[in-house]
Amino acid sequence: MKYLIAVDMEGVHGVEGVKYTGQSPYYAIAKDSSEYAKAVVSATEEVNTVARALYDNGAEKVFLWDNHGGRDNLYMELVDSRVEKVDPPKEMATRLNFLADIKVDGIIFIGYHSRAGSINGILCHTYNGLEIQYIKIDGKQVGELDIDSMIASTFGVPAIFCASDDVCLKQVKEYDARITTVQTKTGKGRTSAIYRPTEVVLSEIYDGVKKAMANRYQPIERKFPLEFEKRFTKMELAAYFYELNKERFGERLCFGDDANTICATVNDIDELRALV
Ligand SMILES: [Zn+2]
């Protein structure tokens, strides 16, 4: 069996981000911040624990996709040397296409976070937090983990494990209750967390991954067409997005309840990736 560890940064243990002080531009785990440095260490610990659990329990191959921000967040010399890093193009249009080549049996999510607008969701956002207020599919809000899981499902790959804060895990279970979850921290605000002890989190991740490997299932299949809605923080962004996509989508693209919101009927995963 082969597995992919998909790594974002905001959901790892011991990290809550730097608080907003009214100074813009603002990024809660900017690369030069102590919270970013902590996130790198925590993500590395979680990835190495996952890799150990996978190899101890019979995995033949483990791949790593480090997809936070500009990528290359982890120092690979500190990551279990048996793990192979994938380095696909960053474009959303081809996101996760590399699954066709590596043919894994499941995805393990590390460091993922709750979707934009989640109360007490630590560092929650959906892609560009400054521009996107929410994304809905068939009337229900979705986040990055939902969308990555949906894309993976079109390659026949199920999401099997997620470690994150309590708010994100609730959303994960709504997506697919079969996903094994481990709580890294409890959200008390956007940049406020109650931490669980590192050794407890890592030990639960080890046991959880082992459990997830034994619990085999097919991914949830998303039926197309689906109704897509994206609300921008600024009308200008919505108008620009509309202009960019109107030729491809024609009559299927329109404004929603207001000038900040774009709606579309989406016929396949390529169209979905074009719009998120
Ligand atoms: Zn991120």
**What do you get for the CA distance between the two ends of the chain, in Å?**
31
221, pLDDT greater than 90 = no
Closest CA to 233 of 80, 24, 53, 59: 24
What pLDDT, in 10s, does the model give residues 25-62? 788 999 999 999 999 999 999 999 999 999 999 999 99
Q: Which pTM was predicted?
A: 0.96
Give the Å distance between the CA of 69 and the centre of ligand 1: 6
Strand order in the sheet with 192-195: 83-85, 61-66, 2-7, 106-110, 159-165, 180-189, 192-195
What pLDDT, in 10s, does the model give residues 160-204? 999 999 999 999 999 999 999 999 999 999 999 999 999 999 999
The burial of 52, by beta-carbon neighbours within 10 Å (0-12 exposed, 13-18 middle, 19 or more buried), is given as: middle
What pLDDT, in 10s, does the model give residues 82-128? 999 999 999 999 999 999 999 999 999 999 999 999 999 999 999 99
Are the CB atoms for 52 and 3 separated by under 8 Å? no
What is the percent of the chain where pLDDT is above 70?
100
d(CA 263, CA 255): 6
Give the Å distance between the CA of 251 and the centre of ligand 1: 34
SS3 9: coil
DSSP state of 66: E
pLDDT at position 72 is 94
Give the Å distance between the CA of 29 and the centre of ligand 1: 9
Q: Which two tokens stand for residue 240?
A: 């620009």
Query: For the chain, how many residues are written?
Result: 276
Give the Å distance between the CA of 7 and the centre of ligand 1: 8
- 73: pLDDT confidence band, cut at 50, 70 and 90? very high
Give the Å distance between the CA of 247 and the centre of ligand 1: 31
